[in-house]
Chain A
Amino acid sequence: MDTSTEISAQGCFTIQLFRRGLFWVLCVGLVLSACDSPPQQSAQGSQSQDQGHNTDAAAEALTEFSDWLSDQSSAFGELLNSAQVETITRSFPVPELPDSQTPFQTQPDQRFEQWTLSSLTRPADGKDWVWHEQQFLRVAIAAANATDAEEASNWRFRDVMMQRYQSYDFASGSQVSDSVAERRALSLADVTDDSVYVHDVVALISHTGCASTFTLKRHSDTRADDTEVWQSRDCPERFRLGDTVFSGTRTVTDNDVRWVTHAYGQLPSLAGVVLIEQLEIVLSADEELLVNRSRRRTGSGPVTVSATLVKNGERQELGEVRWQMNYADAALFPESLVVQVPSLSQAYSIKVPAAFENGFNNDSLGVRHGVLAEQDGMAHPGLLTLYPRNSDNL
């Protein structure tokens, strides 16, 4: 494989990973454990000022990069089957899970790393919720000590890095979703001990004890007030699944729910035969309802649904749960979802955002998005993960 093919394939692989592997990390990892971490009550609050400021530049960069990648689709399959992938994978160590670790610290020596900063925010009028999500992803395609490639040319690179920003306004049902992908070449993206940046967006990560702060800003913008600050107060629960380490926290205030997740390690699997869909409903600052639904890609076997109530960190299984989705003709995602939990004598209705149907393409396995769960006239913020109806072809 010559250099150009390698770059193309790896870039394409990164796009796939971003949409598939990253999704896998969020879904499988969190379903299997991280979601049982107790939510954090935060008195620290946060600033939410201008999350849309990066979209113009991001859209331009994405367009160019996507066009370039679109010519490389066949390389993706070749890469997945190539021995080179194995070589690259073996060159990275299996991550360690230290006894003591600074939350969300960068792990530049690991093959794969991702941060996701998600929020459901309700402005002062208390009505119109907005969903924001900022993601950073890096995939190393050469070992940390493989300097030859970098030294040979400024166009060579060690990491493929991406960032993605999404926003969805529940009142209007409109969505802004843009992504930026950059190579590390020419210092357009990098991970250091205290920051990660891709193109024009930088996340500065600072720690005080267990508390972590993410300051999001434009790389070129020096205005102090044009930033967004994400904070977690407590040590996140960390766990390891295979060769990937996960951590995550959730912060709840009166008008804001924020999730911060971090994963690093080896590349996640893309090949699970079971799809796991999940609804996480934040009932209060110290209480959440987790509903998991599993189904096989083949459509055979049982569809299982289970629910867990997590209150002050204590988990309680809720037994039988009913999960009912209503589809429009030919739609891949439902228009609405109703989850009934008999043991709680409650039912939760979710109007599935159009972002599911609109944001899906053939490169995706599924969609994860903020939702509002209606129950007895109340709207609870939550996260919904769904796969398209015909997932067997993906």
Chain B
Amino acid sequence: MRLFSLFVVCLSATACTDNPADPNEAKLADVVKPADWLSPVGPVPVFEQRPGDPHTGRHALLHESYVNCGLPERVFRELQSSASGSASGLGLGTVVDVTGRDAAMDGLPYNTNRVIGRSGIPIVSSNCLSCHGTVLFGELVIGLGNEFADFTQNPSVAVERAGALLQGDAEAAEWTLFADRIAAIAPYIQTRTVGVNPAPNLTGALVAHRDVDTHAWMSEPQMLMPPTDPPPVSVPPWWRMQKKHAMFNLSEGRDDHARFMLAASMLCADSVAELDQIDEYAPDVRAYLSSIEPPAYPFEIDRELAQRGEQPYLEHCSSCHGTYGADPSYPNTVTAIDAVKTDARLLEVATGEFGREFVGWFNASWFGLRSKAAPAKGYVAPPLDGIWATAPFLHNGSVPNLATLLSEDQRPTRWRHIASDARDPDSYDTANVGWRYETVAAGAGTIPDPRVYDTSRDGYGNQGHSYGVELDDAQKSALVEYLKML
């Protein structure tokens, strides 16, 4: 999935990272004195969210015009009907049954909504599932981050090409609006590797083009743009929102989550009035996201072995990732970068000069009336519900499976998934818990393969999170088996 999957702003894609138990975290939080625009590391305070109706929220998610620009429906369906959709770089997405969708959307990919554009004609816009939905073993799992999406190509190539098919002024107007926005952000949202997501950069590039007071689109950036080489992130599952007090990897999504989610509308919502309209159902969408349950592990589990893994988990993982079972708990804590020692580039961008300007804009804007952007200099240790489905691991998806996560010296330096999507159960490695992969020698092949995850690249490092390394192989095996049950 390429171009169309990035039309939508996959904002939640920065949510979580795996993080260890470390009894010193609270002390670290006490001694680190962040700038006043940053959050401290350590526990994240709770914020009461606006109530909403999950059923209404699901309907809105799959129908409403929260991304109100896209390709004219006629053009989209023409491209879809040709055999050329994928070949042309449009990555038009997969058509699967989505329960409860209107008949007008029949035949459209699950990651698109059919809405009426400003010119009065139907357009097809991307919805949140472009990043937050996956066809897992043949069934759509709403909320599961897409770990196979391809953001390595220049999205303007395919969008501009589609412009050759336009007919009439209305189609041209819709396309021009959409294509101009894509062109403005395209240089900032191309990743180096298939599977990782440029969401933080996408948000930053859109904010830079928005007037802080009116939210009008400005053709020239009004603030510092993010770096052109986006820090990659692995898309977190939505079901973690049941437990998390703050959104995103660095806990920067504070206070009202529903409003923060509306950053997904920044591609084309050009006024505060438009945002207000979307905000009316945003709490419903948030309520729906929080109601999603993770899929159960679909393969066989060695219950006896798993039981033996509970104790290592409690000793080495639970203080940050929480406990599960009859009496679950989740500490909602941010682990300092100096402690977790995972790749710091995302954090450096978010807490550096660009991050400071981003936070300043966000908190002074319509968004800041309810929400607050305040990244911490550390990564959130996420809940581990349904962790089996969320491979690869760490905030940047640099570690392909749980077994290698627990053995830092076994993590591959250059690797790529065997499969190109999550459809085939045989592509899943049940022993190591993750998608099957192969290692790739440096310099292999004359043409760079964007499917290769090269952990030597800036931002793509697989270091850190060295917890549990002292466990022996039997304990690690038991721990991996235990994690399948969460």
A interface residues with partner B (beta carbon < 8 Å)? 24, 27-28, 31-34, 36, 237-242, 269, 271-276, 292, 294-296, 300-302, 304-306, 309, 315-319, 343-344
Q: Are B164 and A272 in contact (CB under 8 A)?
A: yes
Partner of B447, one of A237, A240, A275, A343: A343
- Tell me whether B164 and A275 are in contact (CB under 8 A): yes
B156's partner among A27, A32, A33, A304 (CB-CB below 8 A) is: A304
Q: How far is the CA of A276 from the CA of B163 in the complex (A)?
A: 9
Other-chain residue from A301, A305, A318 in contact with B179 (beta carbon distance below 8 A): A301
Is B157 within 8 A of A306, CB to CB? yes
CA distance A333 to B175 in the complex (A): 28
Verify B447–A318 contact, CB threshold 8 A: yes
Specify which of A32, A242, A304 is in contact with B160 (CB 8 Å cutoff).
Answer: A304
Interface check B176, CB cutoff 8 A: yes
B-side contacts of A273, CB under 8 Å: 163-164, 166, 172, 175-176
Is B302's beta carbon under 8 Å from chain A? no
Q: Mark B150-165, 1 if CB is under 8 A from A, else 0.
A: 0001101100111111
Q: List 12 A-B contacts (CB under 8 A).
A: A32-B88, A272-B164, A273-B163, A273-B172, A274-B166, A276-B161, A300-B180, A302-B156, A304-B161, A309-B447, A315-B87, A344-B446
Say yes or no for B99: interface residue by CB 8 A criterion: no
- A-binding residues in B (CB < 8 A): 78-79, 81-84, 87-89, 153-154, 156-157, 160-168, 172, 175-176, 179-180, 183, 186, 446-448, 450
Q: Are B164 and A28 in contact (CB under 8 A)?
A: yes
Q: Which one of A31, A241, A305, A318 has the greatest number of beta carbons of chain B within 10 Å?
A: A241
A387–chain B nearest beta-carbon distance, Å: 11
Chain B residues with CB under 8 Å of A27's CB are: 164
Query: Is A276 within 8 A of B450, CB to CB?
Result: no
* Cross-interface CB contact of A237 among B83, B89, B162, cutoff 8 Å: B83
Smallest distance from the beta carbon of B450 to chain A beta carbons, Å? 7
Once the chains are docked, how many angstroms separate the CA of A343 from the CA of B156?
20
Q: What are the residues of chain B within 8 A of A276 when measuring CB–CB?
A: 161, 164
Partner of A33 from the list B82, B157, B168 (CB cut-off 8 Å) is: B82
Q: Is the CB of B163 within 8 A of A239?
A: no
A302-B183, A309-B447, A317-B153 given; A274·B164 CB < 8 A: yes
Q: Looking at the assembled complex, report how far the CB atom of B123 sits from the nearest CB atom of chain A, in whole angstroms.
A: 16
Given contacts A239-B83, A271-B166, A294-B160, could you give 14 more A-B pairs where the C-beta distance is less than 8 Å? A31-B161, A32-B87, A32-B88, A239-B82, A241-B79, A272-B166, A292-B161, A295-B160, A300-B180, A301-B176, A301-B183, A315-B87, A316-B447, A317-B450
Instruction: Give the residue of B82, B167, B183, B447 whose beta carbon is less than 8 angstroms from that of A269.
Output: B167
Given contacts A274-B160, A343-B448, contact A302 B186 (CB under 8 A): yes
Question: A240, B160: Cβ atoms under 8 Å?
Answer: no
Distance from B217 Cβ to chain A, minimum over Cβ atoms (Å): 15
CB-defined contacts of B162 to chain A, threshold 8 Å? 274
Q: Across the interface, which residues of B come within 8 angstroms of A28, CB to CB?
A: 164-165
Contacts of A305 in B (CB 8 A): 157
Q: Is the CB of B163 within 8 A of A241?
A: no
Specify which chain B residues have a CB less than 8 angstroms from the CB of A274 in the assembled complex: 160-164, 166
Query: B220 → chain A, closest Cβ, in Å?
Result: 14
Q: Given the complex of chains A and B, what is the CA–CA distance between A34 and B89 in angstroms?
A: 14
Q: Is the CB of A302 within 8 A of B160?
A: yes
In whole angstroms, what is the CA distance A28 to B163 when docked? 10
A241: chain B residues at CB < 8 Å are 78-79, 81-82, 84, 165
Residues of A within 8 Å of B180, CB to CB, are 300-301
Report the minimal beta-carbon distance from B55 to chain A, rounded to whole angstroms: 38
Contacts A32-B82, A273-B172, A306-B157 hold; do A294 and B164 have CB atoms under 8 A apart? Answer: yes
Identity of the chain B residue whose Cβ is nearest the Cβ of A269 in the assembled complex: B167
Is B165 a contact partner of A304 (Cβ separation < 8 A)? no
CB-CB under 8 A for A269 and B165, given A241-B81, A301-B183 = yes
On whether A296 and B165 interact (CB within 8 A), knowing A241-B84, A273-B176, A302-B183, the answer reads no
What residues on A are CB-neighbors of B89 within 8 Å? Answer: 306, 317
A304 adjacent to B157 (CB under 8 Å): yes
Bound CA span A239–B166, Å: 19
Q: A175 to nearest B CB, angstroms?
A: 27
Are B161 and A294 in contact (CB-based, < 8 A)? yes
A275 vs B183: C-alpha distance when bound (angstroms): 16
Residues of B within 8 A of A24 (CB): 164
Complex Cα–Cα for A342 and B448 (A): 11
Q: Which 4 A-B pairs have the closest CB atoms?
A: A33-B84, A274-B163, A239-B83, A272-B164
Task: Tell me the complex Cα distance, A317–B91, Å.
Answer: 13
The CB with the most chain A CB atoms within 10 A, among B84, B156, B172, B176, is that of B84
Q: Which residue from A33, A272, A294 sits with its C-beta under 8 Å from B83?
A: A33
Q: How far is the CA of A31 from the CA of B158 in the complex (A)?
A: 11
Q: Are A240 and B81 in contact (CB under 8 A)?
A: yes
| Smallest Cβ-Cβ distance to A270: which chain B residue | B167
Closest residue on chain A to residue B161 by CB atoms: A294
- Chain A residues with CB under 8 Å of B175's CB are 273
* Closest chain B CB from A90 CB (angstroms): 16
Among the interface residues B79, B160, B172, B175, which one has the most CB atoms of the partner chain A within 10 A?
B160
Q: Which residues of A contact B446 (CB under 8 A)?
A: 344
Task: For B75, give the chain A residue with the smallest CB separation.
Answer: A242
Q: How far is the CA of A32 from the CA of B87 in the complex (A)?
A: 7
Instruction: Please name all residues of chain B whose beta carbon is closer than 8 Å to the beta carbon of A36 when the two chains form the complex.
Output: 84, 87
Residue of B whose beta carbon sits closest to that of A238: B83
How far in angstroms is the closest Cβ of chain B from A347? 16
Which residues in A have their C-beta under 8 angstroms from that of B160? 274, 294-296, 301-302, 304
On chain A, the residues within 8 Å of B450 by CB distance are 317, 319
Q: In whole angstroms, how far apart are the Cα atoms of A344 and B447 in the complex?
A: 7
A300–B179 alpha-carbon span in the complex (Å):
11
Contacts of A302 in B (CB 8 A): 156, 160, 183, 186
Does B84 lie within 8 Å of A239, measured CB to CB?
A: yes
Q: Name the B residues within 8 Å of A306 (CB-CB).
A: 89, 153-154, 157
> Closest chain A residue to B446 by CB distance?
A344
- Rounded to whole Å, the gap between the CB of B80 and the closest CB of chain A is 10
For A318, what are the chain B residues with a Cβ–Cβ distance below 8 Å? 447
Smallest CB–CB gap between A388 and chain B, Å?
Answer: 16
Nearest chain B CB to A239 CB, angstrom units: 4
CB closest chain-A residue, reference B2: A317
> In the complex, what's the smallest C-beta–C-beta distance from A313 to chain B, in angstroms?
11
Closest A residue, CB atoms, query B154: A304
CB contacts (< 8 Å) of B186 on chain A: these are 302
Chain A nearest CB: distance from B414 CB in Å? 17
- How distant is B91 from chain A, measured CB to nearest CB, in Å? 12
Asked if B84 and A32 sit within 8 Å, CB to CB, the answer is yes
Would B81 and A33 count as touching, CB distance under 8 A? Answer: no
Cβ of A334 to closest chain B Cβ, rounded Å: 20
Using A271-B168, A273-B172, A296-B163 as known contacts, say yes or no to A33 and B78 having CB atoms under 8 A apart.
no
B165 partner residues in chain A, CB cutoff 8 A: 28, 241-242, 269, 272
Give complex CA distance A274, B89 in Å.
Answer: 16
Report the minimum CB–CB distance from A375 to chain B (whole Å).
15
Q: Which residues of B contact A343 (CB under 8 A)?
A: 447-448
B195, chain A: closest CB distance, angstroms: 15
Report the Cα distance A319→B150, complex, angstroms.
Answer: 13
Knowing A272-B166, A296-B160, say if A32 contacts B79 (CB, 8 Å): yes
Contacts of A317 in B (CB 8 A): 89, 153, 450
Contact status A272-B87, CB under 8 Å:
no
Query: Considering the chains assembled together, what is the distance between the CA atoms of A27 and B165 in angstroms?
Result: 11
Which residues of the other chain, B, contact A238 by a CB distance below 8 angstroms?
83
Cα A241 to Cα B164 in complex, Å, equals 12
